[in-house]
């Protein structure tokens, strides 16, 4: 395939630092890309969203060193392919006196064994590794490999940067579409930039698609794009960081009592193809974890939403999710139950399985009764106020309180009730003592 037969996105791949858009922290005076050509360079982990320039940087990196660039896709290759690349790198070192840059795209797709197989060749300096990933390297890349690489985070491209990429493609007569004298209206440029969602490669693909049927000299406007741009084509990778970032924004917006932001992120997930059942499950968890007893109705509503979504599905299920999301975002918040659970777990991890006090043990048989199981138990129903002075924790355990009700919402009433019982028992001790 000749260069002119290649896709537009490939033809317009930056050849110089000046053409790299949206990564000024890398291409600026203090950026690592300014060190290209200045000597031996470290291995890199390039972490960034699709279309942000990871492959381009790898190519510029290798070219600056006069190095052999060996590209591998972690999706399509394994240890056998890695061995072949290592043999090629040895030949380049021994016969050609050239260094090798090994570019592993989507390196997070390699399992631990595959990454372990790569490690000694990075350690020995046989290859300079450039690993590209859309996933958080802290979770996906083994620690030993991370420690031998410099982490470089790439930004999602803003719309202004995407627009510059589009205009450059329209004006470049050698690599782009400049010979066709096409024009791009401001409205169409904004639509393309929005649809690209930070991905320069996607933007160029859309531009190439829309220009296939246009006459030379035409102006690209809204009507040319309406059938091309799928409004559901949003950045929401259900298996990657984009997924967890949007989910996190959804949860934190509800926790921050912002129903507008919460409904926005909920809609982003739905428009990005997230299953309604997943959102409903998150809503149920949120109601228990972040609202709790401050508004017990929130959990009832969230469970009802989850049941309803499971019954009727989409699109009608969106209405249930919207109601549940706005209710939970607007409800009083308390994580007291969650904190109580964490504190109880912390104590149990230290004290182990302490024996149940005899007076709390079950006594279904005469033998157990004879052993004193339940003998000293006092039934609160038989005492004024349905409360009695009695220990319910293992003997000798000095812990708590685990549960500290929030001073607002329905939990304020719970706190007042617990305080009333505590004072009532204190008065009884005082009167009997």
Domains observed in the chain:
23-153 (3.40.50.300), 159-168+177-225 (1.10.8), 241-330 (1.20.272.10), 355-396 (no CATH)
Which of 405, 403, 406, 384 has the alpha carbon at shortest distance from 392? 403
User: Residue 253: enclosing H or E segment and its boundaries?
Assistant: helix 241-255
Cα distance between residue 77 and residue 49, in whole Å: 21
User: Going residue by residue through the chain (433 aa), what tens digit of pLDDT does each one get?
Assistant: 445 678 998 999 998 878 888 888 888 777 777 766 556 678 999 998 888 889 998 998 888 888 999 999 998 888 899 999 999 999 999 999 999 999 999 999 899 999 999 999 999 999 999 999 988 888 789 999 999 998 888 988 888 999 999 999 999 999 999 999 999 998 888 888 888 878 899 899 989 988 988 889 989 888 888 766 654 444 444 445 556 788 889 999 999 988 899 999 999 888 877 888 889 999 999 999 999 999 999 999 999 999 999 888 888 899 999 999 999 999 999 998 888 888 888 888 877 777 877 776 777 777 777 777 767 777 888 788 787 787 777 777 777 688 888 888 888 888 888 788 788 888 887 777 6
Cα distance between residue 376 and residue 88, in whole Å: 80
- Residue 139, preceding peptide bond in cis (omega within 30° of 0): no
Q: Could you tell me the CA-to-CA distances from 190 to 53, 168, 306 in Å, in that order?
A: 21, 15, 37
Handedness of CA 168, 174, 176, 181 (dihedral sign): positive
């Amino acid at each position: 395939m000749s260069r002119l037969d290649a896709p537009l996105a490939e033809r317009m791949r930056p050849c110089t630092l000046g053409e790299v858009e949206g990564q000024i922290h890398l291409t600026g005076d203090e950026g690592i890309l300014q060190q290209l050509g200045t000597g031996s360079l470290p291995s890199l982990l390039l972490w960034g969203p699709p279309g942000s320039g990871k492959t381009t940087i790898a190519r510029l990196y290798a070219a600056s060193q006069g190095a052999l660039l060996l590209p591998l896709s972690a999706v399509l290759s394994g240890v056998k392919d890695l061995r072949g690349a290592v043999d090629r790198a040895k030949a380049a070192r021994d016969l050609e006196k050239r260094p090798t840059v090994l570019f592993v795209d989507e390196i997070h797709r390699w399992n631990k064994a595959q990454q372990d197989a790569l490690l000694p060749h990075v350690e020995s300096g046989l290859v300079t590794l450039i690993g590209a990933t859309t996933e958080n390297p802290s979770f996906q890349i083994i620690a030993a490999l991370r420690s031998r690489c410099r982490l470089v985070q790439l930004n999602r491209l803003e719309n202004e940067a995407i627009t510059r990429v589009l205009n450059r493609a329209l004006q470049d007569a050698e690599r782009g579409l400049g010979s066709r004298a096409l024009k791009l209206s401001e409205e169409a440029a904004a639509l393309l930039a929005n649809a690209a969602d930070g991905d320069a490669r996607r933007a160029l693909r859309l531009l190439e698609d829309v220009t296939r049927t246009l006459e030379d000299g035409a102006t690209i406007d809204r009507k040319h794009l309406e059938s091309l741009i799928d409004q559901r084509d949003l950045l929401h990778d259900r298996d990657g960081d984009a997924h967890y970032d949007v989910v996190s924004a959804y949860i934190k917006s509800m926790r921050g009592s912002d129903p507008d932001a919460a409904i926005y992120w909920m809609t982003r997930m739905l428009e990005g193809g997230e299953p309604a059942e997943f959102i409903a499950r998150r809503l149920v968890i949120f109601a228990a974890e972040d609202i709790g007893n401050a508004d017990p109705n929130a959990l009832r509503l969230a469970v009802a939403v989850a049941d309803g979504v499971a019954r009727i599905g989409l699109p009608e299920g969106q209405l249930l999710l919207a109601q549940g999301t706005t209710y939970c975002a607007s409800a009083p918040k308390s994580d007291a139950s969650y904190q109580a659970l964490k504190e109880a777990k912390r104590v149990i991890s230290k004290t182990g399985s302490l024996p149940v006090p005899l007076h709390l043990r079950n006594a279904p048989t005469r033998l157990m009764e004879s052993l004193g199981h339940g003998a000293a138990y006092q039934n609160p129903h038989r005492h004024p106020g349905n409360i009695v002075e009695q220990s319910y924790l293992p003997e000798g355990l000095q812990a708590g309180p685990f549960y500290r009700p929030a001073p607002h919402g329905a939990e304020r009433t719970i706190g007042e009730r617990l305080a009333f019982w505590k004072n009532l028992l204190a008065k009884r001790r005082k009167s009997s003592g």
